[in-house]
Amino acid sequence: MALKSINQLRRLRLLLTGLRRRWLQWRTGLVIHPSCSISLSSRFLPHQPGGVTIGADTLIAFKTLIDARDLASGEVRPIRIGERCFIGGGSMVLPGVTIGSEVIVAAGAVVATDVPDRCIVAGTPARIIRRDIEVGRFGRLKGADANTRLHWR
């Protein structure tokens, strides 16, 4: 059978990510809102129940590392990620960080300090590059669609 569209696999992807979310909640004690979307290749190291909390309508992209244990002291410092956020591919969120709601973390960023609401962060270490943004579900910029490019000012 030929695959007419990749969208035919959407139900399978939703099933697999839903099963992974439930397994992570049961096995590691993550607190993940049911509307959150998590890549199958992302890694979570909460080290205790409630060590990582992820809000509603948040998307965690591929090869993201979220680690709540401080290697220097050995203590667990909880990580909080707000609602309607996008955590880009290959990024890292370090122990004790709180990411506000409606935040976009660029791909490859290393978030070492708290991030306020409604901004875009990028770099190593992550710095705010834009404030007062408006995003929708999964951190998608308002007005962005497949045929529109974002023009930076």
What's the CATH code of the domain at 84? 2.160.10.10
**Cα 99 from Cα 16, distance rounded (Å):** 26
Angle at 53 between CA 73 and CA 120, to 5 degrees: 90
22 lies in a domain?
Answer: no
- Domain count along the chain: 1
Classify residue 49: in a domain, yes or no. yes
Residue 53 lies in a domain: yes
- pLDDT-derived band of residue 120, with 50, 70 and 90 as boundaries? very high
Per-residue pLDDT, 50: 87
Tell me which amino acid residue 12 is.
L
Q: Average pLDDT of 69-96?
A: 94
Residue 26: inside a domain, yes or no? no
pLDDT at residue 62, rounded to an integer? 93
Does 81 map to a domain?
Answer: yes
Give the pLDDT score at 25: 86
Q: In what order do the strands lie in the sheet with 119-122?
A: 37-38, 59-60, 86-87, 104-105, 119-122, 127-131
Tokens 């709540």: give the residue: 68
Residue 148 lies in a domain: no
Contact in structure between 33 and 56 (CB atoms under 8 Å):
yes
- Quote the domain boundaries for residue 63: 34-139
What's the CA gap between 132 and 44, in Å, rounded? 29
Choice among 1-15, 88-102, 103-117 with the minimum mean pLDDT:
1-15
- Report if residue 14 sits inside a domain: no
What single DSSP character describes residue 22?
H
- Per the domain annotation, does 68 fall within a domain? yes
Q: How many beta carbons lie within 10 A of that of residue 8, not counting itself?
A: 10
Strand-pair partners of 44 = 66
